[in-house]
Each structure stands twice: as C-alpha cells, then as structure tokens.
Amino acid sequence: MKMKLYCSPTSPYVRKVRVIAAELGLSDQIEEIEVDPHASPSELLALNPLSKIPVLVTERDEVLPDSNLIIEYLLTRGRGIEGLPRGSARWDALRYQVTADGVIDAAVATTMERRRPESIVYMAWLDRQAALITRSLDVLETAVPSFSLEAPSVVEISVGVALGYLDLRMPYLEWRNGREALTNWYTQFSQRESMLRSAPPAP
Ligand SMILES: N[C@@H](CCC(=O)N[C@@H](CS)C(=O)NCC(=O)O)C(=O)O
C-alpha cells in the first residue's frame, strides 16, 4: 500500500511536496490522485474541508492537508535533505522560506484574480500582489550567497518552486531582470532531477 497525494499538475504547493519526495527518495511510495480543488469533489472535501490541495493520506490513514505539514511529515520518513543551519542563520533561512512561500501565495492569488471576467478584476489589488512579489524577490536576491546547490534544504526548494511558478503564471514580471544572482542560482537549481520531474506542463 502507498501513501496517496491529492494533487494537480500545476499547483506550486503540490510541486514543493513532489520535489521533497523526490529528493528524499520517497516518490515511489506515493500514489498521485489528480483532483480539481475548485470543483470541490466529495473525495477531497472528505479529507480537507478547505477544499485545497495538496493533501497526503499516509498508509495509516493519517490525513495531512497542507504542503508544509506534508513536508514536515515526509522529512521524518526519508533522508537526503539538508537540515537548517543553527543559530541566527536558522532564522534567516526560515525568513527566506516564509518570503518564498509568500511569493507563491501572491502568484496563486494573482492567477485566480486574472481568471475573473475582466470587468470585475481588481487592478489595484493585482498591483499590490505584483509589488510584494518584486520586493520579496529583491530580498531573495540578497540571500543567494546562503543558498546551496549541492545540498538544498526546504528553503532552497521553496525558492526554486516559487521562481518556477512565476515563469509559468507571471512571465510578464520578467523576474530575472536586475537579479543576476537569483537567475544564475535558479538556472542550475532548476536542472535538478527533482525539479525536472515535477515541472508543470507548458501552458
Ligand atoms: N497553505 C496551503 C495552500 C494550498 C492551496 O491554496 N492550494 C491551491 C492549489 S494551488 C488550492 O487548492 N486552491 C483551491 C481553492 O483555494 O479553492 C498549502 O500550503 O498547501
């Protein structure tokens, strides 16, 4: 029996879980079940009243309805992901992870808003999301010297998935402009097997 991951091909939250599972060598132990959370299918609602993916159901029927919760669980099951540094470097690392997760949240929210009929799209709100993404990427640009290519932690994985999602949904932001360090780091990071295997289909 395998763990079950309720997922979609393009969700960045799902991708974080897929990358972590691949890095930990756990992908073979996970069966993927594609669902559309916006359609709120009953099998998803029975597991997660929030109607969001990813949800992981373990072999013991434990239900884990959130990417960071799933990642915390998978880290107890496999090896191969670097732990966080100690001391104040730890708090910096976690700050960068929260920042990358915030970029993902804003990019997903932007994607949803842009799907509305044009007459009710809230432009000022979209501008606010774009501005927070821009500021966050500027912070991540300064953080690149602390990012590893050889032994990434959950921090680098969140940053890599956030940048990949911007390429998919907000290419018009041209996030690489003026961010040479982040660009060079991502060019190499995105070639990891775990990133290639979890890449979303081209739009
Ligand atoms: N905090 C959650 C967010 C999950 C999330 O928002 N997933 C999106 C897919 S990208 C979703 O299921 N959206 C459906 C909805 O909001 O109705 C996590 O980290 O897993």
Same domain for 174 and 96: yes
With a 6 A CB cut-off, is 111 part of the ligand 1 pocket?
Answer: no
Same domain for 191 and 92: yes
What would the mean pLDDT of 125-152 be, rounded to a whole number?
97
Domain range enclosing 38: 3-75
Structure-token pair, residue 183: 């660009």
Same domain for 185 and 95: yes
Give the chain's domain count: 2
Give the pLDDT band of residue 140 (cuts 50, 70, 90). Answer: very high
For the stretch 101-136, pLDDT in tens is: 999 999 999 999 999 999 999 999 999 999 999 999
> Taking the complete model, does pTM exceed 0.95, yes or no?
yes
Same domain for 103 and 46: no
Distance (angstroms) between ligand 1 centre and the Cα of 154 equals 18
CA distance 77 to 25: 10
Is-contact 182 137, C-beta < 8 A?
A: yes
Same domain for 156 and 134: yes
With a 6 A CB cut-off, is 54 part of the ligand 1 pocket?
Answer: yes
CATH of the domain at 123: 1.20.1050.10
For the stretch 57-71, pLDDT in tens is: 999 999 999 999 999
Q: Which of 75, 101, 134 is the last residue of a domain?
A: 75
CA distance 78 to 82: 11
For the stretch 152-194, pLDDT in tens is: 999 999 999 999 999 999 999 999 999 999 999 999 999 999 9
Same domain for 123 and 61: no
Same domain for 64 and 105: no
User: What pLDDT score was predicted for residue 112?
Assistant: 97
Give the pLDDT band of residue 202 (cuts 50, 70, 90). Answer: confident
With a 6 A CB cut-off, is 13 part of the ligand 1 pocket?
Answer: yes
What would the mean pLDDT of 83-102 be, rounded to a whole number?
96
With a 6 A CB cut-off, is 55 part of the ligand 1 pocket?
Answer: no
User: Is 203's pLDDT higher than 90?
Assistant: no
| Closest by CA position to 192, among listed 151, 154, 141, 155 | 151
CATH of the domain at 65: 3.40.30.10
